[in-house]
């Protein structure tokens, strides 16, 4: 049945092959308080013959009820809103019946678990590579702390951009770990290279950071410029773009400010 611009499917039972009722809707009524109303009063309707099927999952017969949320409404908020009603409905189910709620939350959980399991191997390889490259567990931990801070900055980007946290945003947060530590490794390597030659001072560290600034800022600006079009043109990738943009911007500040400060703290450089 077509009600305004909404198509409402209605399934009729009891129609036989020898009685063709296709197209005839004049006999259909809707019960009301104290009477009935013809269905044609609510919109245009017609009857078509379609083969029915029995839906089964894991060999069990199921009835599926689907719902759609309003635009700009979070699925998680909707699920929390109906959670109490669903629990009451579950408690009143007859023996032998059960209910399973599926949807965006379940799909998101499965997808994110796969990402996190792959990310664990990915981060382990990063740790091994940093230990061999820097030859220091302390400096490796310093670089990894930048990655952790940038994950927090990606969530800040979602808040600033008023974007939902979902599968695409998770990809951005995980991918930002490898991207964000690049600038910090460059700055730390330059400082370490000079520190191994002589006793380095604060003024010399500042000079090294200033020399690295142009390279770091250029890299960050080009990266942000690559994600900027997605903020304005792609609804699907907008959460990823906001997460990566704010994360890369924060990674630049961490490389130029946090890394030199922590190096001086760890090596007790006071002058």
Q: Is residue 66 part of a domain?
A: no
25 pLDDT tier (thresholds 50, 70, 90): low
231 pLDDT tier (thresholds 50, 70, 90): confident
Number of domain units in the chain? 2
Q: Is residue 80 part of a domain?
A: no
Q: Is the pLDDT of residue 247 over 70?
A: yes
Q: Is residue 186 part of a domain?
A: yes
Note whether 109 and 48 are same-domain residues: no
3-state SS, the chain, equals CEECCEECCCCCCCCCCCCCCCCCCCCCEEEECCEEEEHHHCCECCCCCCCCCCCEECCEECCCCCCCCCCCCCHHHHHHHHHHHHHHHHHCCCCCCCCCCCCHHHHHHHHHHHHHHHHHHHHHHHHHHHHHHHCCHHHHHHHHHHHHHHHHHHHHHHHHCCCCCCHHHHHHHHHHHHHHHHHHHHHHHHHHHHHCCCCCCHHHHHHHHHHHHHHHHHHHHHHHHHHHHHHHHCCCCHHHHHHHHHHHHHHHHHHHHHHHHHHHHHCCCCC
Note whether 143 and 259 are same-domain residues: yes
Q: Is the pLDDT of residue 19 over 60?
A: no
156 pLDDT tier (thresholds 50, 70, 90): confident
Note whether 113 and 217 are same-domain residues: yes
pLDDT in tens, 92-104: 888 888 887 776 6
Give the residue-averaged pLDDT of 153-169: 80
129: CATH? 1.20.1640.10
Note whether 136 and 8 are same-domain residues: no
Q: Is residue 246 part of a domain?
A: yes
Q: Supply the range of the domain harboring residue 20.
A: 2-52
Q: Is residue 197 part of a domain?
A: yes
pLDDT in tens, 174-194: 778 777 788 888 888 888 888
Note whether 8 and 119 are same-domain residues: no
17 pLDDT tier (thresholds 50, 70, 90): low
């Amino acid at each position: 049945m077509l009600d305004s611009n909404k198509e409402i499917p209605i399934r009729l039972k009891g129609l036989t092959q020898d009685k063709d009722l296709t197209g005839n809707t004049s006999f259909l009524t809707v019960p009301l308080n104290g009477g009935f109303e013809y269905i044609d009063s609510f919109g245009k309707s017609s009857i078509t013959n379609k083969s029915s099927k029995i839906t089964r999952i894991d060999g069990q017969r199921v009835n599926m009820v689907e719902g759609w949320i309003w635009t700009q409404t979070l699925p998680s908020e909707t699920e929390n809103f109906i959670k109490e009603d669903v629990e009451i409905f579950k408690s009143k189910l007859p023996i032998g019946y059960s209910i399973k709620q599926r949807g965006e939350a379940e799909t998101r959980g499965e997808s994110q678990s796969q990402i996190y399991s792959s990310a664990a191997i990915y981060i382990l390889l990063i740790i091994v590579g940093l230990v061999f490259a820097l030859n220091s567990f302390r400096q490796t931990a310093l670089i990894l702390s930048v990655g952790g801070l940038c994950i927090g900055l990606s969530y800040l980007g979602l808040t600033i951009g008023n974007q939902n946290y979902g599968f695409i945003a998770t990809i951005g947060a995980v991918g930002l770990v490898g991207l964000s530590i690049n600038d910090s490794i460059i700055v730390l390597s330059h400082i370490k290279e000079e520190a191994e030659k002589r006793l380095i001072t604060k003024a010399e560290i500042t000079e090294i950071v200033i020399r690295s600034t142009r390279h770091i800022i250029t890299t960050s600006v080009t990266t942000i410029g690559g994600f900027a079009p997605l903020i304005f043109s792609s609804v699907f990738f907008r959460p990823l773009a906001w997460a990566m943009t704010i994360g890369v911007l924060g990674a630049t500040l961490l490389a130029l400010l946090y890394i030199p400060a922590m190096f001086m703290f760890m090596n007790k450089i006071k002058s």
